[in-house]
Amino acid sequence: MAQASASASTLAAVNQQLVKVERAFLLADGLKNRPWFKHSLYAPGFYTGYGVKTVPGVREALEQSTWQDVDAEITRVAATIQREATLVHQAAVELTSVR
């Protein structure tokens, strides 16, 4: 088991990487029409009040039939997922390289 043989400093470094994982889902410029909401995977709906919307940028563009926005929002969300995947992969590599 990798973490059993990892040093305290390695585990601390991996922990710091994992803290960044959730932050990887944030959009620097926020959601369309409400830049104060930054999370790409969930946020209160623009048209529904406080009811949560999953993948709100894409979902709301689909619901409004603004097809050019759908493509742009998919690209933005995909970038956040890629950032998250990269961070998780780096943490896994760090843990599995300890032997």
Render each residue's pLDDT in the chain as its tens digit; 99 residues. 445 577 888 888 888 888 889 899 999 999 998 999 999 999 998 877 778 899 999 999 999 999 999 999 999 999 999 999 999 999 888 888 765
Q: Helices 8-23 and 67-96 meet at what angle, rounded to 10?
A: 170
Domains and CATH numbers, the chain: 2-96 (1.20.930.40)
Sign (positive or negative) of CA dihedral 37, 41, 47, 50: negative
Structure-token match 């803290």, residue found: 19
Structure-token match 């050019």, residue found: 68
pLDDT of residue 98: 63
pLDDT of residue 4: 59
Cα first-last separation, the chain: 9
Please, what's the largest Cα pairwise distance for the chain? 53
